[in-house]
Amino acid sequence: MTQTSSMKLLGARNMSCIVERMEWNNKMDLIAYGTEKGEVVIQRLNWQKIVTFPTPGEDVRVRSLSWQMDETLLAVGYSNGKVALLDAESETIISGLIYEDDIKKVYFSKAINSQENLGTYTCSAKDKHRRFLPKLQPLTNIDPCLKTLDQKSFPKGSPCFLVVIMRSGKVHLLLLGALQAGSIDLTQHILHPEQFDVYDVRLNGDFNAIYALLRDGQELKLLHFHNQVLQECMAPMLELATHCAHILETKNYINDTQQCLTEAWETVQLEMDNKLTKYANSQPYGLISAHFLELHVFGFATFEVEEFLTLSEKGFKKIANSVDLSLTNLQSLVFKQLNGSAINMFYFLNTIAGFGRMSHFFESLISPDVATEAMRACGAFVLKVHELQRTIDTLVYDMKLFHAWMIFTILRLSHQEIPEDLVLTEEENIAMADFLCSMEPELDDRSDDDDELDPLSESPPPARSKFNLERVGQYLDNAYLTQPYPKDPSQLWEEMVAENECLSHCKLFVPHDLNLSLVQQRDKMFNAIDAVFHKPTESISGSFKVSSTVICNDLPPMEPDEGLKDREFVTCSYYVNEVARSDMLACTISWQEAMILEFSRAGDGWVRCTRIKLEPGPFTTSVHEDFCYLRFVDLQFYNESSLSILAQSTNAAPGMRPHSFFVQFSLSAARNQSTQHQMGPLVKLKEATVTHSIHDIVDGAAFKGLDGLCDMLAVSGSRKVATVLSDRKRKMTIFEMEIEEEEDDTEMSQASFLDISKESVLAGVADSEKPEA
């Protein structure tokens, strides 16, 4: 940006609460900001609010905001360790991560250019599985309260990394927001962990290294970590991360389906409780089965049974229809949703197991044995789903038979005409007798001596069988099955496995544990899947090696007292320059000085350093007094050639508020003032650089005086906008940048400050607040 560039005021508004974070979307007309209440608000340039996401808890603060490149996905880091991915387009929370420590910063990296990083490995077509797998049906028709992921891929837009920086110094990398792509603990690479603070950690433009700006004792350091796995395995990682995202989607779908199963099952029990279970609970254990058998075989009904059967035929049909409808919903959930998602999961795991056989590309990412074990666990889950399906089918048949028999009995006892379709066949009569016998299974015999010794025992009564409903309900509990599915003697495979124990331990076959419930089998599968993705995390984490340590400056000692922490001021901004193939980092090293580093990615290992200060230099001439005493408030890269700076005067008279300035600093103009250094194990920039005043750089800085006491800055070069927070972060002002000269009404120059009215400068005289330094 040249000296003649300018900015125009678009509007300013007083906010209803304090704004703590701001971030512009690089492509769309959207700005996100976090409030002191922990809310995240997304609005347009014209102040129209799009959506407000509530706080995740009490006393939770928004620590960081980051838009995914060219997308409507926003990553938010909270003080309680939660990271949420919010979609401004659908106004929903896509997913969330929970960490045990306070978040320092979260951000999306630039988009990964797959054409650059594929190497010799070619990724498969995106969403190739949709050719073979049927689309999972939405669950909203079963329970409107449950919402799934709209059946679209978890990684939205171009592939990229999500980086989570913790205040403790731990850094987590996630590829596509799904695959844990390594982590690093910065405290393991410093000399003084007792005086440590992390300011920023950034991935380089080639995704094979990270820069960590941190405090180590009384030194401001930048550590450069190289990672060989990231450099060599980016294309296989993208393939693995895509499947990991699909697996996470399927896991969420299975969990939602299981919740629907539980709710549908509770509906079945509720319908039974209306009449049938109340009667069962009123009878001593064992009498129900005996009375019903007597009625079925001999046609004789006791007084209790007759009282129970006083329900009219119409009323009983209503109960039967309600129970049948609930059981039909249960069947549909298991056969379509749960079985379909289990098959999808098996497909993805089978693909990952296939990747593991290509050791040349996936050796450091996938363990073939672990992937095979996860596939077997998924196969066991599929078998358990089929087992549950057969159990439900048996229950549906028994309940329909029981309801038909009850209606037939009511008509017979009331001497009404019985339709022919209600008369049971001989086979159905035998099945009905078996069902009535199994309603109350025999209990273990207790010795007479025990009864005599403890006649007043208050032991709990035996669990009441509710018309064999517990045969299905036990699958939805996190406990072993009390009534395992009976073995079918006609199944030759089961007989063969029973005779040959070696088959049950062979990894070529899927195990089938008859004692596990559906919940236990699901958890076992999830644990096996989690083990698959431990390998890439371990490989990438172990590959981080410190290649260079850059000492930027000295820092004052850390003070535990919050009031003394103003002695230091470190804020930074990062930018990837694709044209020059370099990574740019700007950071303040004190209240008046900043350092701009440019790391070359061309393979020459050079770093260019420009050190600037806001104060006039010894040879600075003709500078207005108001520009002589300034300090940094905030800075951000506007684009690859400009750095936007928010500054504040330090020479305010008593009773007057300090002045604030927006400074657009030209990096191209300052290039001649930079020094070049070879990256090595140790680079001491504080001894090898010279500080230059921004006033001495020709066409280097353009100033704009601002109203109020400004606290924060957010700029976007692609959107050509800048936003400034002022008045204790309660006022938001938006400027349009790079206005054509004929349209310009607020030229950015040092002289522009002289045109500011005295009323604006003295606006704080009547303010009761204390003057700020």
Q: How far apart (Å, rounded) are the C-alpha atoms in residues 542 and 596? A: 30
| Residues 6+ away with beta carbon under 8 Å from 152 | none
Q: How far apart (Å, rounded) are the C-alpha atoms in residues 330 and 206? A: 51
pLDDT (tens digit per residue) in 196-224 = 999 999 999 999 999 999 999 999 999 99
Whether the Cβ atoms of residue 108 and residue 162 lie closer than 8 Å to each other = yes
pLDDT (tens digit per residue) in 323-340 = 777 778 788 888 888 999
Helix H or strand E encompassing 88: none
Does residue 368 or residue 323 have the better pLDDT? Answer: 368
Measured CA distances, 759 to 9, 164, 200, 661, 764 (Å): 18, 45, 40, 17, 9
Does residue 750 or residue 490 have the better pLDDT? Answer: 490
Counts for the chain of helices (H) and strands (E), in that order: 19, 31
Residue 718 placed within a domain: no
pLDDT attached to residue 740 = 66
Residue 323 placed within a domain: yes
- Residue 348: both structure tokens together: 């993805």
Residue 664 placed within a domain: no
Residue 54 placed within a domain: no
Task: Report the chain's mean pLDDT, rounded to a whole number.
Answer: 82
Highest mean pLDDT among 121-130, 461-470, 638-647, 759-768: 638-647
Whether the Cβ atoms of residue 73 and residue 94 lie closer than 8 Å to each other = yes
pLDDT (tens digit per residue) in 62-101 = 999 999 988 889 999 999 999 999 999 888 888 888 998 8
**Bridge partners (DSSP) listed for residue 344:** none
pLDDT (tens digit per residue) in 142-199 = 443 344 333 334 546 788 999 999 999 999 999 988 889 999 999 999 999 999 999 9
Q: Which segments within 601-629 are labelled E, that is strand?
A: 606-613
Least confident of 170-179, 270-279, 434-443: 270-279
Report DSSP state, residue 196: E
- Residue 93: both structure tokens together: 């929370």
Residue 166 placed within a domain: no
pTM of the model: 0.81
Other beta carbons within 10 angstroms of residue 195's beta carbon come to: 15
Residue 393 placed within a domain: yes
- Residue 558: both structure tokens together: 């850390």
Sort residue 451 into left (φ over 0), alpha (ψ -120 to 50) or beta.
alpha
Q: How far apart (Å, rounded) are the C-alpha atoms in residues 13 and 11? A: 7
Whether the Cβ atoms of residue 723 and residue 713 lie closer than 8 Å to each other = yes
Does residue 312 or residue 14 have the better pLDDT? Answer: 14
Other beta carbons within 10 angstroms of residue 140's beta carbon come to: 11
- Residue 128: both structure tokens together: 């190739």
Residue 21 placed within a domain: no
Q: Which range marks the domain in which residue 350 is found?
A: 236-442+464-540
Residue 720 placed within a domain: no
> Three-state SS for 224?
strand
pLDDT (tens digit per residue) in 223-239 = 999 999 998 888 899 88
Residue 384 has pLDDT above 90, yes or no: yes
Report DSSP state, residue 630: E
pLDDT (tens digit per residue) in 102-157 = 999 999 999 887 554 444 566 554 566 667 777 777 775 444 334 433 333 454 67
How many separate domains does the chain show? Answer: 1
pLDDT attached to residue 643 = 95
Whether the Cβ atoms of residue 67 and residue 22 lie closer than 8 Å to each other = no
